[in-house]
């Protein structure tokens, strides 16, 4: 761990100057308490750094939570082993999952499935549903959809050759719309107060005011949507794996965790709003998930409860190159070689998700050694993504 200054601690051995400078600006906001923690996968973000843990007292920065509110991962360990899938046409399973789960940015369900109905009913009864309806009335059609970018569905094998299903997604279009709305409100509020911000995306809402309460309501609703969205997709993936292998899937272990969210937590003796933007909670004994990039390992971890890190850990590999830079830098032939032996989408659309567009996951995990303990190491054999 590196102490950059009294308000900024860093666990990243790979840290660009622009990322450090961005984190320093955020850490100087007057309501940060006690300090901001940079995770090993830290990289440049909107306003606040992706891979940062931001405790705030009496205020929240909506952009520091991010626009994909509640984004996170879910993983399920099944009863199957490598022997059960050996020699089977995994491209067929890739196609089955791709048909069952709508992919890509605008993906939505043509009809509401029976498995989604109780989840949608719960969300309709959750405070914040009115805000969701106002921003994205078609949100029920997106429950159970993946999205694009670094979101994925994988079939993986662990160190004992046991089969896992693993996926990454968040609150989809409705979460984005809600986030953008409240980021705009925060900017307006700061402008009314004539507050000079080091970055306009550090605009904040003040606790005790109606704008703050409205954001918390929308935030909690979107976090719940994201959690249920992952559950719905996992149900479909479990169903498709069972069909593919001709045997009903047994769920031996399940982990579902956010990595873009805010919760009320106590740190250093004070209750604060803790925003994890690209970080997971890693309290002592708490299970979590840290995925690598396409073609790289992913990890099931258990938290160590590290106090200076605000009981947090990285959420993935963290980008090394922007999407546009990755498309220029990497070739399809190289990506094909890196994905050898894995059933995947085989498209130039995924060049910006090339493994080397991200930090080496091995280095990220080495940097996180005092934050989490690795419980399982997963290697993917099927990778489903939206373009």
Q: What is the pLDDT of residues 3-18, one digit of tens each?
A: 999 999 999 999 999 9
350 falls within a domain? no
SS3 271: strand
Inform me whether the pLDDT recorded for 149 exceeds 90. no
Calpha distance 280→282 (Å, rounded):
6
39 falls within a domain? yes
Calpha distance 208→190 (Å, rounded):
15
Q: Would you name the residues annotated as active-site residues?
A: 315
CATH no. for residue 72? 3.90.1860.10
Calpha distance 314→282 (Å, rounded):
9
Q: What is the pLDDT of residue 352?
A: 87
Calpha distance 303→8 (Å, rounded):
21
Other beta carbons within 10 angstroms of residue 220's beta carbon come to 18
339 falls within a domain? no
331 falls within a domain? no
335 falls within a domain? no
Extract the runs of DSSP E, i.e. beta strands, from 44-161: 50-56, 59-60, 72-81, 152-157
347 falls within a domain? no
- In terms of residue numbers, what domain contains 49? 2-320+358-376
Question: How many domains are contained in the chain?
Answer: 1
45 falls within a domain? yes
pLDDT in tens, 305-349: 999 999 999 999 888 888 898 888 989 998 999 899 999 988 888
pLDDT average, residue stretch 56-71: 96
Calpha distance 241→177 (Å, rounded):
33
207 falls within a domain? yes
Inform me whether the pLDDT recorded for 165 exceeds 90. yes
């Amino acid at each position: 761990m590196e102490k950059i200054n009294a308000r900024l601690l860093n666990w990243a051995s790979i840290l660009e100057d622009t990322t450090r400078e961005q984190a320093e600006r955020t850490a100087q906001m007057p309501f940060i308490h006690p300090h901001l923690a940079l995770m090993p996968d830290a990289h440049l973000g909107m306003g606040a750094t992706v891979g940062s843990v931001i405790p705030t007292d009496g205020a929240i920065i909506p952009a520091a939570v991010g626009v994909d509110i509640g984004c996170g991962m879910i993983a399920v360990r099944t009863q199957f082993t490598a022997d059960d899938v050996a020699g089977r046409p995994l491209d067929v399973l890739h196609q089955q999952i791709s048909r069952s789960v709508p992919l890509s940015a605008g993906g939505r369900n043509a009809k509401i499935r029976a498995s989604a109905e109780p989840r949608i009913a719960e969300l309709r009864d959750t405070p914040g549903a009115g805000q969701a309806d106002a921003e994205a009335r078609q949100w029920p059609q997106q429950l159970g959809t993946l999205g694009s970018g670094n979101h994925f569905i994988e079939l993986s094998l662990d160190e004992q050759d046991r089969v896992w299903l693993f996926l990454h997604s968040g609150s989809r279009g409705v979460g984005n719309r809600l986030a953008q709305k409240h980021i705009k409100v925060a900017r307006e509020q700061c402008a009314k107060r004539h507050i000079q911000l080091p970055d306009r995306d550090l605009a904040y809402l003040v606790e005790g005011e109606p704008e703050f309460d409205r954001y918390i309501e929308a935030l909690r609703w979107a976090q719940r949507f994201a959690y249920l969205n992952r559950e719905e997709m996992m149900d479909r993936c479990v169903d498709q794996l069972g069909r593919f292998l001709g045997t009903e899937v047994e769920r031996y272990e399940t982990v579902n965790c956010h990595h873009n969210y805010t919760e009320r937590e106590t740190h250093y003796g004070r209750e604060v709003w803790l925003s994890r933007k690209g970080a997971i909670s890693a309290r002592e004994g708490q299970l979590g998930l840290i995925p690598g990039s396409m073609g790289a390992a992913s990890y099931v971890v258990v938290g160590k409860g590290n106090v200076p890190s605000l009981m947090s850990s990285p959420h993935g590999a963290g980008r090394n190159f922007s999407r546009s830079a990755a498309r220029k830098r990497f070739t399809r032939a190289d990506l094909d070689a890196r994905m050898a032996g894995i059933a995947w989408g085989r498209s130039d659309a995924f060049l910006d998700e090339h493994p080397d567009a991200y930090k080496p996951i091995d280095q990220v995990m080495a940097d996180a050694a005092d934050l989490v303990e690795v419980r399982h190491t997963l290697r993917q054999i099927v990778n489903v993504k939206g373009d």
